[in-house]
C-alpha cells in the first residue's frame, strides 16, 4: 500500500463524528488565566456575523487540492496539496480540560480584523473597554488579524464553538492552552488565509503517522 493510501486511511479511519464542544461546557471551565480565556466561545457571535458578509463564504466543500490536518499531539498543522505536505506550522490547541474537538470540518469563511467580544469571566480585566468589544485593529485583540470559521462535515448548517485564528502572544505557541480554538503565528494564519480556499477540508486528529509514512 502506498504512503499516500496509508496516510488517508489513518486520517479518516475514525469517521467524521466530531466531538463538538458546547457553549455551556466551555462556560463551566474554571481556574483559567486571562491568556487562556481569550478563546472563550462567548466572543464568537460577532465574528460569525461578520463572516457572513465578508465575501469569503461559499458553503461548498472543496474536495481537491488543499487540505489541512491538525495533530493535537504534535501541536502541528499540516497543509497538503494533492495528498503531499507543502507546509507545516506550530499551533496551540485546547487545554486538557477544554480540548479542541476532534473530527472532520471544512472552512466556512474568513474574517479580516474581527472584533473580539470580551467574555464575562474576564471583563473585570478590561474595564477600559466599556463597549465590551475590542476592535480588530487593537493590538490587545487576542484574535489579531484573521478568524477562520469552521463547520462540521456531518452538520454543515450548524456553527461550531471554535475556529482558527492568530494571536497577540506568539510566545504561547506551541502549547495546549486555549479554550478550544487553534492559535497560529502571523506567518501561519496569513498563509492559510492567502492559500487555502473556503470549502477546504480540515481534519483534527489526536495522533498522527510519522511524516516519512506519507511524504
pLDDT in tens, 121-174: 888 888 888 889 999 889 999 999 999 999 999 999 999 989 999 999 999 999
Q: Which cell numbers in the block locate residue 87?
A: 507546509
- Check: CB of residue 192 under 8 Å from CB of residue 106: no
Give the global pTM.
0.71
Nearest to 154 by CA among 4, 13, 19: 19
Domain CATH number, residue 141:
2.40.440.10
Average pLDDT over residues 83-107: 95
Domain holding 130, by residue range, is 3-214
Total domains present in the chain: 1
- Check: CB of residue 81 under 8 Å from CB of residue 201: no
pLDDT of residue 205: 95
Amino acid at each position: 500500500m502506498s504512503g499516500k493510501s496509508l496516510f488517508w486511511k489513518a486520517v479518516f479511519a475514525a469517521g467524521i463524528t466530531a466531538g463538538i464542544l458546547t457553549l455551556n461546557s466551555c462556560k463551566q471551565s474554571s481556574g483559567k488565566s486571562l491568556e487562556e480565556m481569550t478563546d472563550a466561545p462567548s466572543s464568537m457571535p460577532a465574528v460569525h456575523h461578520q463572516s457572513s458578509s465578508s465575501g469569503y463564504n461559499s458553503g461548498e466543500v472543496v474536495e481537491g487540492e488543499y487540505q489541512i490536518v491538525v495533530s493535537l499531539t504534535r501541536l502541528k498543522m499540516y497543509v497538503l496539496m494533492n495528498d503531499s505536505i507543502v507546509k507545516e506550522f506550530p499551533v496551540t490547541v485546547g487545554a486538557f480540560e477544554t480540548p479542541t474537538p476532534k473530527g472532520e470540518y471544512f472552512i466556512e469563511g474568513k474574517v479580516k480584523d474581527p472584533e473580539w467580544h470580551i467574555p464575562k469571566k474576564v471583563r473585570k480585566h478590561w474595564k477600559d473597554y466599556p463597549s465590551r468589544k475590542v476592535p480588530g485593529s487593537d493590538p490587545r485583540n487576542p484574535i489579531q488579524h484573521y478568524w477562520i470559521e469552521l463547520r462540521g462535515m456531518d452538520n454543515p448548517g450548524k456553527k461550531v464553538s471554535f475556529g482558527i485564528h492568530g494571536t497577540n502572544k506568539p510566545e504561547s505557541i506551541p502549547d495546549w492552552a486555549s479554550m478550544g480554538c487553534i492559535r497560529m503565528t502571523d506567518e501561519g494564519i496569513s498563509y492559510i488565509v492567502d492559500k487555502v480556499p473556503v470549502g477546504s477540508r480540515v481534519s483534527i486528529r489526536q495522533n498522527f503517522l510519522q511524516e516519512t509514512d506519507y511524504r
